[in-house]
Structure 1
Amino acid sequence: MNRTTRLYALVEELRAAAPRPLTVATLAARFEVGRRTAQRDLQALMESGVPVRTTAGRGGGWTIDPAMTLPPIHFTADEASALAAALAAAGAGAPYAGAARTAYQKIAASMTGPASAAARERSARIVALPAQTHDAVHSAIRTAVEQALAGNTVLRLSYVDAAGRESDRVVEPAGLLAAGGCWYLVAWCRTRRAGRGFRLDRIAAAAPTGEQAPPHDLAELLRDSAAAGAVQPTATASPPR
């Protein structure tokens, strides 16, 4: 069992036992590795953001919060290949690109048998040219935007418009828009007192303020703009009832 597969299996082992803690010795024996290897794997999971924790003393050990993880999901080769194609199309500069990459790695590691081999073979046939310089989004800016959307917090931006003019903006994020191969942060702009779209690759700097932003309706902010007809991607839209 390679390390990637073992890390995925460790999560599922902890999830199956939750809320009962499992000792390092128990996990080492389960996966036929040394205690130091098991300890390093558990630390790696914790450092990567997986909600695992350890408690010391008699009856202690490692546990995971099952409410913060997904149960096992079985993908077909077609589904795994579709995800690989979507990631290739999105590129490294897309929002949540890092999380998407690790999610796909977990999916690939969880698959076994003919479906795994087929998914890997098909994924190897998907290639993409690196994004051009004008499409690149600095990782720090992308992270600031992602965190502001996740925490619903106000951002302070330094923004360069299409004419090359730079301005400072204080914005209340509402969502993300993909259009024409570019990504935009849609937000209420306090400076302009109106809804605005900020192309991510034109944001020169993004600083979190820590201030909670009031909620905004994404469709309302896009109304009367060129993106008024934007719809949720079919792959993420809720199925009809």
Structure 2
Amino acid sequence: MINTSFEQRTERRNRLIGLLRSETYWKTSDLREQLGISQRTLMRELAELKRAGYPIESERGRGGGIRLNGRWGVDRLQLSHHEVVELILSLAIMESLQSPLLTSNLKAIKQKLFQAFPQEQRSAVSNIRKRIMIGSNAGDNIVSRYIAPEHALSECIAEAFLEQSCLEIDYQSDSGEHTTRVIEAQYILLNWPIWYITAWDHLRKSPRMFRIDRIKNARIVGGYFQLKPIEVFIGIYTPYYKSI
């Protein structure tokens, strides 16, 4: 579900950026009137924009005021709460993979997106990052047999992971055995390009690891689950994984 407070904050910040990008210098009183906010809120928004790297200009005297450098930026984007979360997490994953090409600005981009969140949501995103683990690349013998899951299936798994919802899966083991079980997707692990779910398995009443490409069907069955301590799962994955 999209977070309303996040949408309102993003809409207000987008409006502020749009106003500041115009050729006119704005008086703070006019900006407050346009946005319907207090002086204190306006100053906080401007300070956060500056920290996020927005080149805000100010000029004293008659005809002066505040604006955003007109040569800066791209056209306004409309992103939902989940889209921004997934974008931040994707950037963090790419950063963790330490690619030598086309990744030099990932950290700065990630920080600017992060600034769009209220403090409590920044904490929530940070907690999600701790549940995403990165390891070494998968071996050639595994990659050669890998078939990427369908988009709808991946979306279902991702939603269950992000929302901490119980997931019913139809799973095919390495030996070809098919089982249906309800799991809690506590952590996800990446051995590029293979994703795994480190889960609490309701069928076995114990931690288990599931390769996502072996999940044939998945359905969210409700039931918010609490995160278990990482120590519960240490025995089923290598300590060489690190969180993003």
Relative to the length of structure 2, the TM-score reads 0.46
The structure showing larger relative contact order (alpha-carbon pairs under 8 Å, at least 6 residues apart) is 2
Relative to the length of structure 1, the TM-score reads 0.46
